[in-house]
Each structure stands twice: as C-alpha cells, then as structure tokens.
Amino acid sequence: MPSKFQSGDTVMGRWPGSSLYYEVKVLSHDTDTQLYTVIYKDGTELELKESDIKSYASFRQISGRSRSRSRSPARRRSRSRSPARTSRRSSSRTSSRTTEGKIDKLKEVLEVRLTPVVLPTENNSNNQHEKEDTNEPNIESEQRSSGRYNLRRRKDGDPKQAEEMKKVDEDSTTLKTEELEFGGRIGTFGMLLFLPSVVLLLLLQVSIKDTGLLALPASFPSAEVLWDWQVFGLVIFWLFFQALLYMLPFGKVVDGMPLKTGKKLKYRVNGFHALLITGVFVGIAVQQEMDLTYIHTHFLQFYSSALIMSVLLSIYLYTRSRLLSEEERAPSGNSGYLFHDFFMGRELNPRIRNFDVKFFCEMRPGLIGWLVINFAMLLAEMKVQKLDFPSPAMLLVNIFQLLWVADGLWHEEKILTTMDIVHDGFGFMLAFGDLVWVPFTFTCQAHYLVNHPSELSKLFVAVIITIKGIGYYIFRKANSQKNNFRRNPSDPSHIHLKTISTATGKGLIVSGLWGFVRHPNYLGDLLMGLAWSLPCGFRHALPYFYLVYLVLLLIHRNSRDELQCRKKYGSAWDEYCKAVPYRIFPWIY
Ligand code: NDP
C-alpha cells in the first residue's frame, strides 16, 4: 500500500497516549509494519501509525474550530501553573539555546514545545498509559502522573516578537554538545594518553615469557623495537588493500538509517567477500612460503604504525570537520572543546565521495586484521614451541574468533543501526578502537599462547566448546528473534511470544530469551568471550583482559540503551523491567 505521507513532509503527529498533536517531520515509512518514523522539534523520534498523523492543512482546520470553542488542551494549559513552564530541556544530548526570557515574550499559538524527561515512573502502568488516550486529556495530571514530558506554550505577540521566536527556533536547532562524555575535557584528554599506554603495556606483558601478574617490563622498549619503516609501509598497504576490496562492486547496496534531514546514505555490504578474498591471499602467501610469523616478531612495530595511522586519521577527520554543515555533525562531538571533540569525533558520516570512512574502519581493517594476526600467532606458536601442529588451545581460540568475525561480516548491514554508526561521530575514539584496540588487544589470547603453552584435558575442551556453543546460540537466537520481530511483528513464527505493547506501536518481547534477562544477546556475547579465554588456562590474568573489557563495555552499553528505552517507551519499559528484573546476568545483575 503506498504511503500517504512522504519522507521530509511536515505534518502533525499525535503524541502517544494523548490526543495532543505536535508538528513533526516524517523521516521514513516502513512498508512492513506500516509505521512512520517521525521526529519532533526537540529531536525525539517515534514511530507512529498513519491514523495518528494528520496533514498540516487538515489539522489547522480542526484546531481552528476547537480553538474557537476554547476546547484546545493548549488553551487550558496556558492557565496552569505547572512546573513545566519553568523547566528546561534535560534529556537531550544536544542542547537548545532557548532562554526562558525569550520564550516568555513569544506569541501564543497552538504549537507546544515538547520535552521528554526521564523520571522514575513507579506510578505508571502500561494500562494507564493506554487509558490516557481519550479525546479530552487532562494534561497536567498526565504530566504529573507520568512525568514523561513537559509542554510549554508560546504566546501571541507582535511581528517583532514573531521574528524573535523564529530566531529562537533557529537557535534551538543549532547543534552544540553540552553533555560531555568520558569525563569531559579532562577525561577525554586523559583517554588520549591512557588508551595507547594500556595497549602498549598489555603487549609488553604478553610477550614476556614468565611474567608475574604485577611484573613490569624490565625497561621501556627502544626506538628500534618500536619503529620500523617497512612495517609502517605494510600497515599502509593493508589499509589500501582492504579499501580496494571495500570498493569492489560485489555485494548488495543497502540504505542506512534516516539522517536528520530524512535522507538515507547508501552502503555497499561486501565484508564477507572481503574476508574470503583476504583468506585466499593469506593461503597463497603461506603456499609461497612467506614468513607470516614476521607479524609476531615485529608486533610492537605494527602496533606503533597502527597507532600513528589512527592519530593521522583522527587529525584528518578533525581538520575536515571545520567545513561541516549542521546536518553532518555528530550530536556527541560538537562541544567546542578541542580534545573532547577530537576524541568523540565531530562528523557523523565522513565520506570521500561514496567511500564511507567510518563504516569501512568499523568493519574491515581491524576485524579482518584480527584474524590474520591470530593466524600469524598460530604459526609463531608452532615455530617457537617446535610443534608440528598448533596446540588444541591455539586452535580453539583461532576457530572461535574466526567464527565470531565471519558471523559479524555475514550480518554486516546490522551495524548500520548501532549507536556507533547512528549516533557517534568519527574521531580518535572510534579510529583508535577500530585500527588499534580491536586488532592488538582482541588477539591477546593467541598472542599469549605463543610463549605460554596450555595443556587442556579432553573434558575441559568439551566444557569450553559447550560454553561457546551455548553463548553462540543465545547470542544469535536473541539477535535474530529481536531483528525479525522488529521487521515483521505479525509473522506467525512470533505467535508464541508474549509481548508488552507500548504507546509507540512497537512491542517488547517478554518471553523466551528476552524474558530471561533484558539483554540476552550481551549474555551470549560474554559466554563466548569466556570461552575464548579459558583455553589459556588459569596461570595468568592477561588472557582475560578481553573478557574484563567486554563486561565493562556491555554494562556501560546496557545502561546507555536502557536510558534510551525508558525515554522511548516510558511506563511500558518499567513494566518490562518489573517482569524481567535482571539486565544481563540472571540472578546477579
Ligand atoms: P541490541 O541489539 O540489544 O539492541 C537494543 C535495542 O533492542 C533496544 O534499544 C530496543 O530498541 C530493542 N529492545 C530492547 N529490549 C527489547 C525487547 N524485550 N523486545 C524487543 N526489542 C527490544 O544492542 P546493541 O546494538 O548494543 O548490540 C548489538 C549486538 O552487538 C549485541 O549482540 C551485542 O552483544 C553485540 N556487541 C558486541 C560487542 C563486542 O565487542 N563483542 C560490542 C557491542 C555490541 P527498539 O525498541 O528501538 O528496537
């Protein structure tokens, strides 16, 4: 069925759970679910049914009638002394520079400003949420009881005031990051020094043969140990090789999520092809007796070269971001503070023609590089320990991580909906993460095994494989179930699932894996991370570096995501949390 409204249309959208309409812009229309994604003036995005949307012209007729009868909720609201009149935006990452003084002078129209706020909603229930859907809502009581949003009116005035109002509106759309992340200016400056040091320390520790947990390397490595121009050339070659594979005309082209303008960027999805082609080249290199253990013996130099490349890339990204338009900026990286913005990234989707630098770095050189390094460590183990075959521990680590990366590249387009692509700018944080952190820390188990043999009993191997299998099952099943349910909630294969309906029209699965913990996919990921570390035994904590990092990362990610869900779903989310009390770890957290 063709959609009634088009992307970019300005229409009036009903606020879920009330009969209030606000001016919204249509971002996209999902033909499967028949839902429109719309954006409110304050940046809130929701999905609405067609029946909850009215064209601007028809709404004006209706609102004109209702105003003459003094029945408009907005009119009643103007007499109120609600705290909302003086409240400020609190929930958005970007800020409006609207000032109370200016607002007070503005003219009275039917439009209202809408400000979602995150407040505890213990008194809310989903039922109440739905009962509020009446023709004559009591806005103040709704606001008090749910605490979900504030409404602020504009007052009538002369043309000068109208002009002022226009300026306020323009100001309110100017993007400036006010909520600084990672400890703000000082924290992000610290991260610039801290992250490269952590990786260097880890690499130095892993390469020492019989290192104690707290033993520090005897001395800081010399310049020759850290730098080699040939290795630097190889790193550049690797980046260009992967870029070339990325540009090959294989694989489908898919749409990204709608941008603020409603436009969608196109992405070529051919990561799995790139993995296969790289695999063929590695095979040829081995057959030609190229010594891939060179990667192990020059690992620190590879690290320094990758670090330099990530710094150069971040400088390039920061420099080019000075010419950006508002729409191209990332909400999190435009505070005006040099180190913060350099770290967080100012530009959302840096592109050189059709080449998407962020998407490329997120999925290719680091992820595929991780596997090549693992393989080089496998060969190095055989060489150092004089083995005819790699050890079972090394094989398990290589196979498990190969499966994980291959799975990620097979489902490459899923990354287009993640926070990294949709929200975060591309700056040092992601450039370093993609080019250095992933390939040089995620390989710590294989790297460790080169110099630290680990004997595994058959029973222990079976236990490890079982943990990995369970982890993978939970991870894949949870992700697929949620993705399929989101794409087509009425599919008969979901009939057995219990769900909680929300005011946005989307349901929340509350049975099966999603009824066990609130983030089963994170649980699966963590079980897999555990299975990657166990083959290294229990003599040292270093192989568990990745696991500790993953626990911290997913706990942080979970709280970020739950905050967003509470904003999106209000009381329905609270009901879900009540029904499923554990976030990631059953009976613990
Ligand atoms: P999720 O894939 O878990 O997505 C979270 C979203 O799912 C929510 O915002 C909500 O969005 C929807 N949702 C939440 N609960 C429910 C429910 N009960 N029913 C239906 N929908 C629900 O999060 P991520 O994007 O963070 O993770 C994606 C994958 O990537 C995960 O498997 C994670 O483990 C993995 N990952 C791995 C990392 C690693 O280094 N190993 C790092 C980061 C992620 P909405 O309602 O809008 O659809």
Q: Residue 336's pLDDT band (boundaries 50, 70, 90)? A: confident
Is the shortest distance between the CB of 521 and ligand 1 below 6 Å? yes
Output the CA–CA distances (angstroms, integers) from residue 270 to 53, 240, 256, 277, 301, in the order listed. 38, 16, 15, 11, 30
Range in 56-60, 62-66, 125-129, 380-384 with the lowest mean pLDDT:
125-129
Q: Which two tokens stand for residue 344?
A: 């967080």
Is the shortest distance between the CB of 164 and ligand 1 below 6 Å? no
Q: Residue 146's pLDDT band (boundaries 50, 70, 90)? A: very low
Beta bridge partners of 151: 114
3-state secondary structure of 217: coil
What local confidence, expressed as pLDDT, does residue 115 receive? 35
**Would the pLDDT of 364 be above 70?**
yes
| pLDDT mean over 224-231 | 95
List % helix, strand, coil for the chain (3-state, nearest 5): 55, 10, 30
- Report which ligand 1 atom has the smallest distance to the Cα of 514: 18
Is the shortest distance between the CB of 564 and ligand 1 below 6 Å? yes
| pLDDT mean over 215-222 | 75
Q: Which two tokens stand for residue 158?
A: 């002369």
What local confidence, expressed as pLDDT, does residue 310 receive? 98
Question: Where are any strands of DSSP class E within 258-350?
Answer: 266-269
| pLDDT mean over 150-177 | 45
**Would the pLDDT of 449 be above 60?**
yes
Output the CA–CA distances (angstroms, integers) from residue 206 to 202, 224, 544, 566, in the order listed. 6, 19, 12, 42
Is the shortest distance between the CB of 472 and ligand 1 below 6 Å? no
**Would the pLDDT of 286 be above 90?**
yes
Q: Which two tokens stand for residue 511?
A: 């049975």
Q: Are 199 and 440 in contact (CB under 8 A)?
A: yes
DSSP state of 219: S
Start-to-end CA distance of the chain, whole Å, equals: 45
If one residue of 525, 548, 569 were mutated to test the ligand 1 pocket, choosing by the most ligand atoms within 8 A of its CB, it would be 525
Span from the CA of 29 to the centroid of ligand 1 (angstroms): 22
Q: How far apart are CA 4 and CA 474, in angstroms?
A: 40
Q: Are 529 and 547 in contact (CB under 8 A)?
A: yes
Between 71 and 215, the more confident residue is: 215
| pLDDT mean over 251-271 | 91
Q: How far apart are CA 191 and CA 449, in angstroms?
A: 29
- Phi, psi at 99, each rounded to 5°: -110, 150
Q: What residue's CA is closest to ligand 1, atom 41?
A: 525
Contacts of 462 (CB under 8 A, 6+ apart): none
In the chain, the percentage of residues whose pLDDT exceeds 90 is: 49
**Would the pLDDT of 145 be above 60?**
no
Span from the CA of 259 to the centroid of ligand 1 (angstroms): 20
What local confidence, expressed as pLDDT, does residue 31 receive? 79
**Would the pLDDT of 555 be above 50?**
yes
Is the shortest distance between the CB of 33 and ligand 1 below 6 Å? no
Q: Are 90 and 117 in contact (CB under 8 A)?
A: yes
Is the shortest distance between the CB of 486 and ligand 1 below 6 Å? yes
| pLDDT mean over 286-298 | 97
**In the block, residue with structure tokens 């075959």:** 389
Q: Which two tokens stand for residue 248?
A: 């090959």
Q: Residue 135's pLDDT band (boundaries 50, 70, 90)? A: very low
pLDDT digits 0-9 by tens, 428-440: 999 999 999 999 9
Q: What residue's CA is closest to ligand 1, atom 6?
A: 561
pLDDT digits 0-9 by tens, 390-437: 999 999 999 999 999 999 999 998 888 887 898 899 999 999 999 999
What local confidence, expressed as pLDDT, does residue 506 receive? 85
Is the shortest distance between the CB of 76 and ligand 1 below 6 Å? no
Q: Are 217 and 208 in contact (CB under 8 A)?
A: yes
Can you say how many angstroms the Cα of residue 573 is from the centroid of all Cα atoms in its chain?
20
What local confidence, expressed as pLDDT, does residue 495 receive? 81
- Report which ligand 1 atom has the smallest distance to the Cα of 569: 46
DSSP string over 375-395: HHHHHHHHHHTT-SS--HHHH
**Would the pLDDT of 213 be above 60?**
no
What local confidence, expressed as pLDDT, does residue 59 receive? 65
What local confidence, expressed as pLDDT, does residue 41 receive? 67
Q: Residue 174's pLDDT band (boundaries 50, 70, 90)? A: low
Range in 211-215, 397-401, 497-501, 528-532 with the lowest mean pLDDT:
211-215
Span from the CA of 485 to the centroid of ligand 1 (angstroms): 13
Span from the CA of 568 to the centroid of ligand 1 (angstroms): 14
Output the CA–CA distances (angstroms, integers) from residue 210 to 87, 494, 539, in the order listed. 60, 53, 10
**Would the pLDDT of 71 be above 80?**
no
Query: Mean pLDDT over all residues of the chain?
Result: 80
Between 120 and 291, the more confident residue is: 291
Span from the CA of 134 to the centroid of ligand 1 (angstroms): 33
Output the CA–CA distances (angstroms, integers) from residue 531 to 374, 521, 525, 551, in the order listed. 16, 15, 10, 14
In the chain, the percentage of residues whose pLDDT exceeds 70 is: 77
**Would the pLDDT of 155 be above 60?**
no
3-state secondary structure of 367: helix
Contacts of 514 (CB under 8 A, 6+ apart): 478, 481, 482, 508, 520, 580
**Would the pLDDT of 105 be above 70?**
no
Range in 389-393, 538-542, 576-580 with the lowest mean pLDDT:
538-542
**Would the pLDDT of 530 be above 80?**
yes
Between 113 and 382, the more confident residue is: 382
What local confidence, expressed as pLDDT, does residue 220 receive? 83
- Report which ligand 1 atom has the smallest distance to the Cα of 565: 9
87-101, 171-185, 271-285, 575-589, range with greatest mean pLDDT: 271-285
Span from the CA of 431 to the centroid of ligand 1 (angstroms): 22
Q: How far apart are CA 111 and CA 106, in angstroms?
A: 12
Span from the CA of 285 to the centroid of ligand 1 (angstroms): 38
